[in-house]
Amino acid sequence: MATADELRALLARVEGATGPDRRLDYEVFVAFAVQGHANPWDPEQGHFYTVSIDDALALIERVLPSASVEMEIDPSWSARRACVVVDDGAAARGWSGPRTSAPLAILAALLKALLAQSDPQEANHGG
């Protein structure tokens, strides 16, 4: 998995995205590729993390299997917010990612949750 610095850079890219982006999908794929395993990338099929809610949620299930995700969608469909809740035995914590698309909100929340796990100071920036 990517380092904390790489996750921060990826978070900046996700937060700057305005919609589906296959290059960003690839960057997410690479960040979470499992070393020592076959990790086939096919730009025509699968790994639509910035497009598909299902793909973004499947990534969370693989990377943070004990996490749950809550979604809020503005009635006008103009804003979305995702919260990844991680139960570490002591407390449940949430990180949100307001975005223009649900998959981007989910990705932002996932990245913030992972960063907070690696550095508790990051939890203060989880917004």
pLDDT tens-digit map of 10-66: 999 999 998 899 999 999 999 998 877 766 777 777 889 999 999 999 999 999 998
Enclosing domain of residue 96: 4-125
53: CATH:
3.30.2120
In tens, the pLDDT along 87-122 reads: 765 445 556 666 678 899 899 999 999 998 887 666
How far is CA 51 from each of CA 54, 60, 89, 91, 117, rounded to the nearest angstrom?
Answer: 9, 15, 32, 31, 26
Q: How many domains does the chain have?
A: 1
